[in-house]
Chains A and B, each alone.
Chain A
Amino acid sequence: MRIGIPHLGNAYIMVRAMAARLGAVNGEGLVIPPPMTKKTLDLGVKYSPTEACLPYKLTLGSLIEACELGADTLIQARGTGICRLGYYAKGQEQMLHDLGYDAHFLTLDISHHKFLNMLRLIRSVANGNRARTPLHEIISAFFFGIGKVIALDKIEKVAQKIRAIELEKGAANLVYKEAVKAIDDVFDSKNVKRITKEYIGKLNKLPHNPKADPVKVAIVGEIYVVIEPFANMDIEMELGKLGVEVERTLTLSRWIKYSLFLNYLGISEWREVHKLAEPYLDHDVGGDGWESVGEKVLCARKGYDGVIHLAPFTCMPEIVAQNIMASTKEDIPVLAVACDEQMGREGMLTRVEAFVDLLEFRRRKRDGRKVFSVG
């Protein structure tokens, strides 16, 4: 059995870590497709229904690339209802079959019993490679994988801060990329902790201007396009180049922490956000629509300068959110970016730059400074 996975941000690092613990080496038991490129997108677009959403197309492209490298068992998420996610696996399986790949899908149900499903999935994968894997090994591999994701998100958080105020543009990105590589290469928890500390230290030591008060922007929206840099054209790094501090609540580690563990104890990460959204939207509309509305309100209260709302083109929950967000009484600018295969880097950059200019004007106005400087 050779397992293939689609890309989603740093998730591949987690999967590789788990697989290594369970005795599968990259290339043999596990196939990680190459990082997403234009080719992935083209493949996905070519073989998807025209009006399918971007995450569908990207994951399909990624899975085709995994199949080309010889994967025969593919992992894909599945949910119940409302959003298109429920049919990803079904549609993609049909398409891959038509293309002549004899691939078998293992789906991860992320609507109910997420923790058990995750363990079950890992077990069935592990048992495919080795006769019977004891439960404690599975659990230890699982936690090791999660540990890496948490470490990466910790480093990224620091990088987001430093990016905005660094003196030499691009330095933080380089350090962050090194950190991803370093974490991917070690296979025991002690080293993961050490590397995390080391790189956070490195980031903080980069020459930066600690007195700067950069414009703060929150990124909200649909989880896939928010987390996967290829889907949103690296919007975070571009914002960093413009000297903007980016904050996003949707991260892989947060999803894992709450959905797999704390939700079982009745702790919801979204309680506050849902409550804030209530005057405008009082029930779930699927996907991340409800959360997007609430987060806009929350960002206004927390004193952010602006919100960037990322959504795949024609994403139903996010369209509901966009329609509602525009008319909430909280006064905070929102830039809605629809991500799809037609999106061009320059067009996106122009819009983001204009948006950042707008935020800076607003700041100056608020501080009673001259809005336009002549000369």
Chain B
Amino acid sequence: MAKVGIPRALLYYLYYPAWKAFFEKLGAEVVVSSPTNKTILNSGVSRAVADTCLPVKIFFGHVMSMIGECDYIFAPAVTSLGNEAYNCSKIIGLPNMTRALIPECPIILDPEINLEKGRYHFYQSIYKLGRYFTHNPFRIKKAVEEAWENNLAYQSVMFDEGLTPVEAIDRMYQGKQQPDSSVASAPSLTIAVIGHPYVIYDEYLSHRLIHRLQSMGVKILTPEMAPEKALYDAARKLVGIPHWSFETDIIGAGEYYLEKKVDGVINLSVFGCGPDSMMVTFVQHRARELNAPFLHLSLDEHTSDGGLLTRLEAFLDMIKWRERICV
């Protein structure tokens, strides 16, 4: 049985259940790389050009950690998801960069997903992907349907129960009951954490930010917990028609939660993130207008636990202090 490796990085957090269902329906075995650790990070950093952003370096690390464990690596080039919006260049050029930087890597499955080129192009690239496993177009169609259903189920798990992608994936595949997220029985603050899913939910990369906040008695809101339509509308209000698909969710969530009067907004971004560098400015500006607390954290491979924690604590103290003054 063919083994398909899915690196636990970048778009994994958005589409893993759909991809898993698709490949399994086609009779392949799906292998996921282990959560990010120091070795993975270092091996990724060793290959990529220094200016590359951290999540992409981590992606390369994950790919390298799976060499020899699988027959294929799945690295799609997700160019556009429609609405005249595109993705960051690094996501579009991902399979090509992987091939160039890791020549010893297994065969890369690199469908180009570009909805701007129309439906036919999309069907064709999915069919081309399915051809690696079967020649029967009906089986491929079935697999796509299954994938779509899984994707919807995944999104509804996240949205209905307020789970993060990692928790939702655990719930779906391991039936693991999460320890009730209200660790501190009654959260005193509500804070929106906005950023790319592959930054926020990668525990190694984000230095367990979510857990840290939760253990400090903070209720977390992330972009995945808001309805997609509302996010799009909020983003439109802020910048007009958004040009970057994934940024729509981030700045949409920023605006949406700011309007909902959360206690504060934390933007977790990585150094050198092109889209974030432009878009988050708009959220920051809006937060200033509304006089809401806003913290911009920029991560890179040199970020230390201590520095991050100090800034978080100071931010929370500032919010609590403000509230005391207001009351």
- Chain A contact residues, CB within 8 Å of chain B: 49-53, 56, 80-84, 86-87, 90-91, 94, 98, 280-287, 289, 313-317, 319-320, 322-324, 326-328, 336, 338
* A82 and B89 form a contact (CB under 8 A): yes
**Given A83, A282, A322, A328, which contacts B49 in the complex, CB threshold below 8 Å?**
A322
The answer to whether B240 has its CB under 8 Å from any CB of chain A is yes
A-B CB contact pairs (8 Å), 9 listed: A51-B276, A51-B298, A53-B277, A90-B239, A286-B86, A289-B89, A314-B51, A314-B274, A316-B89
* B51 and A338 form a contact (CB under 8 A): yes
Instruction: Find chain A residues with CB under 8 A from B80 CB.
Output: 81
Q: Chain B: interface secondary structure? A: mixed
CB distance from A25 to the nearest CB of B (A): 35
Instruction: Find chain B residues with CB under 8 A from A98 CB.
Output: 285
Instruction: Find chain B residues with CB under 8 A from A80 CB.
Output: 84, 86, 243
Known: A51-B273, A280-B96. A319 touches B89 (CB 8 A): yes
Instruction: Taking A80-B84, A84-B275 as given, write out 13 further A-B residue pairs in contact, using a Cβ cutoff of 8 Å, ordered by the A residue number.
Output: A51-B298, A80-B86, A81-B243, A82-B88, A83-B89, A87-B239, A90-B282, A91-B281, A287-B89, A313-B51, A314-B272, A317-B93, A327-B100
Instruction: Find chain B residues with CB under 8 A from A326 CB.
Output: 49, 100-101
The answer to whether B155 has its CB under 8 Å from any CB of chain A is no
- CA of A320 to CA of B272 in the docked complex: distance in angstroms? 13
Instruction: Find chain A residues with CB under 8 A from B240 CB.
Output: 90
A-B contacts at CB below 8 angstroms, number:
120
CB distance from A112 to the nearest CB of B (A): 10
Nearest B residue to A315 via CB reads: B274
* B52 and A323 form a contact (CB under 8 A): yes
- CA of A289 to CA of B51 in the docked complex: distance in angstroms? 15
* B92 and A286 form a contact (CB under 8 A): yes
CB distance from B268 to the nearest CB of A (A): 14
4 closest Cβ pairs, A-B complex? A81-B86, A51-B277, A320-B93, A316-B89
Q: How large is the interface on B (under 10, 10 to 19, 20 to 34, 35 or more residues)?
A: 35 or more
* B 284-321 binary contact with A (CB < 8 Å = 1; else 0): 01000000000000100000000000000000000000
- CA of A87 to CA of B285 in the docked complex: distance in angstroms? 15
* B277 and A289 form a contact (CB under 8 A): no
- CA of A373 to CA of B51 in the docked complex: distance in angstroms? 37
* B 256-283 binary contact with A (CB < 8 Å = 1; else 0): 0000000000000001111111111110
The answer to whether B25 has its CB under 8 Å from any CB of chain A is no
Instruction: Find chain A residues with CB under 8 A from B99 CB.
Output: 280
Q: Chain A: interface secondary structure? A: loop
* A283 and B77 form a contact (CB under 8 A): yes
Instruction: Find chain A residues with CB under 8 A from B298 CB.
Output: 51
The answer to whether B85 has its CB under 8 Å from any CB of chain A is yes
Instruction: Find chain B residues with CB under 8 A from A83 CB.
Output: 89, 274
- CA of A51 to CA of B278 in the docked complex: distance in angstroms? 8
* A94 and B285 form a contact (CB under 8 A): yes
- Chain B contact residues, CB within 8 Å of chain A: 48-49, 51-53, 77, 79-80, 84-90, 92-93, 96-97, 99-101, 103, 112, 114, 239-240, 243-244, 271-282, 285, 298
* B96 and A324 form a contact (CB under 8 A): yes
- CA of A53 to CA of B276 in the docked complex: distance in angstroms? 12
Instruction: Find chain B residues with CB under 8 A from A284 CB.
Output: 92
* A84 and B51 form a contact (CB under 8 A): no
Nearest A residue to B238 via CB reads: A90
* A285 and B93 form a contact (CB under 8 A): yes
- CA of A80 to CA of B87 in the docked complex: distance in angstroms? 11
Known: A320-B96, A326-B49. A86 touches B277 (CB 8 A): no
Nearest A residue to B281 via CB reads: A49
CB distance from A171 to the nearest CB of B (A): 38
* B277 and A319 form a contact (CB under 8 A): no
CB distance from A40 to the nearest CB of B (A): 20
- CA of A285 to CA of B78 in the docked complex: distance in angstroms? 11
CB distance from A115 to the nearest CB of B (A): 20
* B285 and A324 form a contact (CB under 8 A): no
Instruction: Find chain A residues with CB under 8 A from B282 CB.
Output: 90-91, 94
CB distance from B200 to the nearest CB of A (A): 18
* B103 and A87 form a contact (CB under 8 A): no
- CA of A91 to CA of B49 in the docked complex: distance in angstroms? 29
Instruction: Find chain B residues with CB under 8 A from A52 CB.
Output: 277-278
CB distance from A275 to the nearest CB of B (A): 15
- CA of A324 to CA of B95 in the docked complex: distance in angstroms? 10
- CA of A282 to CA of B92 in the docked complex: distance in angstroms? 11
Instruction: Find chain A residues with CB under 8 A from B89 CB.
Output: 82-83, 285-287, 289, 316-317, 319-320
From A82, A94, A317, A322, residue with most partner B Cβ within 10 Å: A82
